[in-house]
Structures are given as C-alpha cells and as structure tokens.
Amino acid sequence: MAEAAQDFVCIRLATYEDAEEAEFLKEIFVGRSGELENTVFCLLAPDGRQQLSRPGRGPHFTFGSPGSMAREMKQIANRYETQDGDGIPKLPQMKNFRLGLNVAECDALPLVVCVATGDHNMQSLHDSLAPLAFQDQLAGRFGYASVKDLSEMESIDGKKTEYGFLIVEPGEFGTKGIVRQTISGDVSSDDLAGQLIAFANEFRRRDKDHHDHVRTGKENGVDWETEIPVTDPMSNAARDRRGPGKGKRPPRRRKRGDR
C-alpha cells in the first residue's frame, strides 16, 4: 500500500475540524442522512475535482482489501504523467498543533513542531523540513505541526525553544506530551535529516489495544471538542445515549411495574 501511495498526493483530514474542508468533503460523499459523516474516502484527479474511485466512508467500502486497492491505485497512477514541479513541496503538516498532536498519537508517531514567531522564520523552518518529510528514510515516520505562540503548547512538558524544531512524544490520548528533543532552527539540512533519522530509529512506537484505549478514555472522561458540529447520525446517537464525557452508559430506567 505504501508503495502504491508514492504515486499519489496523500491527504488525510480531520472531519469536523474546518468548515471549508467540511464543505469540500460533503461534495464528495454524504451518507443516507444527507449530512457529512465521520469518515470520507475517495481517489481524485490532480485537479481535486474529478473522482477516480467510488466515494465512500472508507477504502474498505470501495476496494474491500488493501491488495485490490493497491492494484487499482497503480493502474490509476499509470494514467498520469507526473512532474517534479517548480519549487519545493509544502510542509505536510496538520492544521494546528492540537490536531497534529492528536493524529501523531493515533499513528503512534513522534511529532515535529516548527516553532517561530515571525512568518519569515517560520517559512525558513518549513523550507528546511518539507523536502525531508518525503525522503525514503523519513517518510511516514513523523507527524508535523507549527506553532507561533508557545502558549499553544502549554500541555507539553519539557524544554522548548522560540525558534527551531521540537520533537514531541504525544501522551496516551493525544492531548498532552513531552518534548524529547530540541533542534536549532539554524541547523543545516543534512544535520536536521541526520538528527531526525537518528530519533526515528530509536523511537519505539507504543503498542495500543484499541478497545483498552477506548475504555480507558471513557473511564477518565477524556473529551474532544470539535470545531464545527458533528453531523454523523450514528455518532450523535451514541453521544445522546451516553451523555457527553460520561463514558458509561446510563442505568436502564426501570419501568413502572418492574420488580
């Protein structure tokens, strides 16, 4: 799958976290409810408009298995003549630090955070880091985010810098974390690559049992506040049954006459 994906630009969004992106997703796929649901999947042409696969809630609905998806992706990629393009790629980061931390935790990856107060300095960090994110030894081994105000990182322990790169290890639920390494913003590209590769090689991904993870989150009342309202009917029904943040199902109401 990863090999087939090299011929694609891979975009992974967080549903309900950006109004404009939500409108784009709704144009691609809505469920029977007619509303945007939790997950959306589609292969698109480079123009971002033409659909190259049946859209759906996930790749499993469209392709059934990773193998068939990879074969289809190869066939599609062969229809396009790709080019190196002018300039360098943009940094493949999440919309903000909060989401970057959450997604990195989900993928059990460390997060590289670019920290700079001014636009010029931030662009300089991005220009150094972005090409490395696609190198063979680094692709898929970090998440990325940017911070101009360190107050966004109040939930993160460890030494921070006002200009440079912070490698953050996310906490269990992706709302906290700790800075594991600080790299100067003035580092050379080779040094930056070397330090990132060394960190990635040493980093041990946390094993996570999905059901245990969910249960612990419920028990601890971990909540997530979305940017826009959730419209997935099943998701909202589950929330209504349990109550926000409570985790445990409410006790069954005893009917009159029950003994």
Partner 1 sequence: MKKKSMVHVFLCALLATSWLTVLPPSAAGQGLKKGITWYGVLQDGLDEARRTGKPILLTSAAPQCQACGDRASKIRTGVS
Least distance between partner 1 and beta carbon 259 (Å): 33
Other residues' Cβ atoms within 10 Å of the Cβ of residue 97:
25
Interface pick for partner 1 out of 27, 33, 66, 117 (rule CB under 8 A): 66
Applying CB under 8 A, the site for partner 1 has a residue count of 113
Identity of the residue, 48 or 184, whose beta carbon is nearer to partner 1 in the bound complex: 48
CB 100 within 8 A of CB 91: no
Inter-helix orientation angle 119-133/189-202, to 10°: 60
Identity of the residue, 50 or 254, whose beta carbon is nearer to partner 1 in the bound complex: 50
Least distance between partner 1 and beta carbon 257 (Å): 32
CA 189, CA 183: separation in Å to the nearest integer?
A: 11
CA dist 176 → 98, 105, 164, 168 (Å): 9, 10, 20, 10
CA 175, CA 111: separation in Å to the nearest integer?
A: 12
Identity of the residue, 66 or 184, whose beta carbon is nearer to partner 1 in the bound complex: 66
108-147 binders of partner 1 (CB under 8 A): 108-109, 133-134, 136-137, 139-141, 143-144
Least distance between partner 1 and beta carbon 109 (Å): 6
Burial string for 204-226 (b: 16+ CB within 10 Å, else e) reads eeeeeeeeeeeeeeeeeeeeeee
CB 177 within 8 A of CB 166: no
Count Cβ atoms within 10 A of the Cβ of residue 196 and give its class: 0-12 exposed, 13-18 middle, 19 or more buried: buried
CA 112, CA 147: separation in Å to the nearest integer?
A: 11
Interface pick for partner 1 out of 30, 31, 92, 233 (rule CB under 8 A): 92
Identity of the residue, 10 or 255, whose beta carbon is nearer to partner 1 in the bound complex: 10
Contacts of 201 (CB under 8 A, 6+ apart): none
5-64 binders of partner 1 (CB under 8 A): 5-18, 20-21, 24-25, 28, 38-48, 52, 58-60, 64
Q: Which two tokens stand for residue 45?
A: 């042409």
Least distance between partner 1 and beta carbon 26 (Å): 11
Identity of the residue, 178 or 234, whose beta carbon is nearer to partner 1 in the bound complex: 234
- Scanning 84-92, 113-121, 155-163, 181-189 for contacts with partner 1 by CB under 8 A, the matching segment is 84-92
153-172 binders of partner 1 (CB under 8 A): none
Identity of the residue, 24 or 117, whose beta carbon is nearer to partner 1 in the bound complex: 24
Least distance between partner 1 and beta carbon 130 (Å): 10
175-234 binders of partner 1 (CB under 8 A): 175, 197, 200-205, 207-208, 210, 213-214, 217-218, 222-230, 232, 234
CA 162, CA 140: separation in Å to the nearest integer?
A: 26
Q: What are phi and psi of 105, to 5 degrees?
A: -65, -40
